[in-house]
Structures are given as structure tokens and as C-alpha cells.
């Protein structure tokens, strides 16, 4: 197969904030890497805070699996740019649980009247 003239279709997803998602569908040449696709899409100039070269800042994924910027794309790949976590998920869950209280949350929140504790 001649990859020089073949085009592939990919989707690029980026969420700069909660509940805000930017999606771009691109037709690019076959054999393009993730980094080249990011440059061609214009997302790096539109969102200058994205820095995929630092591994602890932003992560690049294909269909939810972390990859490198040098990964060669295939047809119908979906590139996701993941921003760093602002809160540790364990801490957030613990705070949410403390805020709503033990009577309304957890496995045994809806007990039958007269039932033993834990059932």
C-alpha cells in the first residue's frame, strides 16, 4: 500500500476545563505521528498551555491509552489530550463523603426499618 498518497481520518479531543470539550476531525496523510497531527491541527497555537513534552503536565492518549508523541497514527484513531489532575481522586472522594454525611452515603445508607446494622 502506498502511504504517501493515502489519507487517514482522526479525531482530536481536548477539554481545557470541566464540561468544555473541543473536538476536531482531521484528514491527514498516513504515517503522521501524534506530534505532527497536533501541530497540523492548530490546537497547540489555540491553547498555548498544552505542553506534551513534559510527562508530568499533559498526557497524550489514543482511545484512553497513554502513548508517546512519536506514535504513528492509524485510520480512525482518536487522540485525547489529558490535562493534569488538580485534586487527588482519593482526597476528593473522602471530602465528598464527609460533606454529605454517613447517613446518606455508602453501601448501607438505605436500611430497612428494624434491620440489624450492616444489613
Q: Give residue 55's pLDDT.
A: 56
Task: Dump pLDDT digits (tens) for 43-77.
Answer: 988 988 887 766 567 889 999 899 988 999 999 99
**How far, in Å, are 25, 27, 75, 84 from residue 52 at the CA level?**
20, 22, 22, 11
| 41 inside domain | yes
Task: Dump pLDDT digits (tens) for 1-27.
Answer: 455 569 999 999 998 888 999 999 999
Instruction: Region of 77 please: left (phi>0), alpha (psi -120 to 50) or beta.
Output: beta
| 54 inside domain | yes
CATH of the domain at 54: 3.10.20.30
- Asked if residue 28 has pLDDT above 90, the reply is yes
DSSP conformational letter for 77: -
Q: Give residue 78's pLDDT.
A: 96
Within 10 angstroms of residue 48's Cβ, the number of other Cβ atoms is: 7
Q: Count up the domains in the chain and report the number.
A: 1
Cα separation, 9 vs 11, in Å, equals: 7
Model-level pTM? 0.67
Amino acid at each position: 500500500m502506498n502511504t504517501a498518497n493515502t489519507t487517514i481520518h482522526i479525531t482530536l479531543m481536548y477539554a481545557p476545563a470541566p464540561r468544555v470539550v473541543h473536538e476536531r476531525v482531521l484528514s491527514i496523510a498516513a504515517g503522521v505521528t501524534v506530534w505532527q497531527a497536533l501541530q497540523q491541527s492548530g490546537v497547540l497555537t489555540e491553547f498555548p498551555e498544552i505542553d506534551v513534552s513534559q510527562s508530568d503536565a499533559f498526557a497524550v492518549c489514543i482511545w484512553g491509552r497513554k502513548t508517546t508523541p512519536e506514535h504513528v497514527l492509524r485510520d480512525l484513531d482518536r487522540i485525547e489530550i489529558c490535562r493534569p489532575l488538580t485534586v487527588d481522586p482519593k482526597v476528593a472522594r473522602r471530602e465528598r463523603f464527609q460533606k454529605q454525611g454517613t447517613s446518606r452515603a455508602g453501601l448501607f445508607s438505605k436500611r430497612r426499618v428494624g434491620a440489624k446494622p450492616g444489613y
